[in-house]
Chain A
């Protein structure tokens, strides 16, 4: 019955999206050197301006999927096309040009702790800066002003010159969002952005992400643990299980049964639990 639901939901999504997909993934596979098959034949299309939540158990392949999109992880096979460019075949320089159009937000924020907040936001411009100037961290005045403006938008104007290590988790994540926005990206990849935050910080971070997605029409893919947050904020939900797409539908189509199936469903053959 689950599969029936899936196909129905899929048709719904594809018929709704009349615009060509911004991100198109075909038969993506990833097997790690230790033999772990993290992704199995994943295919998806994501049109412009959608906020997509990817849900599933830890280990279902959510992080791997996201890192394949900007090739921080090298896919084993398959094709990823972003805005008409073949990501999987891109060579060094092209890959950097593609990456600068995809802002990434991390669970552990991945900010450079010893640098001030504003410099971390300015890192969003590195992809547009010459190698030497970027290396030395010399950014032009209008970019610095833009960075300060971004910080004001995420409510951190007064923290600009503190070291990142002095901020709270929620604040760091907002710096992460500002860095991604600074890239002027067409796509934001958020990998468990709220998994290490408390509820109120999580609300704040997700609200900002939602605002960015709708107001600036930036496509956003969010890996989430919390189904309730996915239901509250996402336009569309993709469920991954054991590295495969288990369901893919508009958020209203997500039923309790489906969630139970995704998280606790179909008991594996070897039943000895450890």
Chain B
């Protein structure tokens, strides 16, 4: 609450005039101009240097057509059972990676959010950890872990877990910062401690966002887990790169289809689960 009545003895800033209004508008225009100039410049530069052209796109189209039809089709359905193991491996990696991310991200979210942190400095540190994890591309993280732990699902799982901290830590903190302060004040007024305020005031409000984002990250893990295998992280991606390296393109096609089906099934399953949970 603030003293805002016109009768209050508090000093008032001078009433805004049309000149202020003009000044405000001009500031807005100038700021927008800068943004648009930067965006335009960046796009021009990117198109120019990447050599992107509709003609190359068109030529590539016919090449990829012949590749798909002659080399990769039809998919070798009889080898599906061979890839069920790697499929499950991708799923395991996704689940364990998710658990790692959530266990690390919840404290980061709570300590990072300005309204629940114990100190400004802690909030800054927590957000920095998430920021660093986010700055490293997941493929780079995987390559790093492959170098440390060798090729296989362990490297992939750790990469998924650490990559998740970057995203979940940030969105958890943001979601907690958006909750209704009045409800927290109500719980605090009863003499509740920090942990009690978290459990009884913050969590009920944070839960929907927590569910949504955690589910989203699980789906990303399943999709990303398939890619991470390409650089040695295990699972379906590893089978895929092996097949391609051996020129077994019909096997590769089978794996691509299996990735597609797996992702669809997982998304449908999590959606059904979520409807039940909220």
Binding site for B on A (CB under 8 A): 32, 34-38, 57-61, 63-64, 67, 70, 72, 96-104, 106, 108-115, 119, 123-127, 129, 131-132, 134-137, 176, 179, 183, 242-243, 268, 270, 273-274
Contact = CB atoms under 8 A, between A and B. Distances in A.
Given A114-B205, A137-B200, A268 B10 contact: no
Contacts of B195: 131-132, 134-135
Given A61-B3, A179-B190, 7 more contacts: A60-B5, A98-B191, A110-B189, A114-B205, A123-B190, A135-B200, A137-B200
A99 B190 contact: yes
A115 B189 contact: no
B10 A35 contact: yes
A96 B189 CA distance: 9
A126 B199 CA distance: 11
B6 A72 contact: no
B192 A134 contact: yes
B207 A135 contact: no
Given A59-B5, A112-B186, A112-B205, A100 B191 contact: yes
Contacts of A59: 1-5, 8
B7 interface: yes
Contacts of B11: 35
Contacts of B5: 57-60
A129 B190 CA distance: 11
Interface string B191-211: 111111011110011010000
B38 interface: no
A104 B190 CA distance: 7
Given A34-B2, A38-B1, A100 B185 contact: no
Specify which of B2, B186, B201 lies most central, judged by the most chain A CB atoms within 10 Å of its CB.
B186
Interface in B164-197: 180, 182-183, 185-196
Contacts of A270: 12
Given A32-B2, A35-B11, A273-B6, A106 B186 contact: yes
B9 interface: yes
A113 B183 contact: yes
11 contacts: A61-B3, A96-B192, A96-B193, A99-B190, A104-B186, A106-B185, A110-B189, A126-B200, A134-B196, A176-B186, A242-B3
A123 B188 contact: no
Given A112-B204, A126-B190, A36 B10 contact: yes
A79 B46 CA distance: 65
Interface in B1-31: 1-12, 15
A29 to B, nearest CB: 13
B190 A100 contact: yes
Given A115-B204, A129-B196, A72 B189 contact: yes
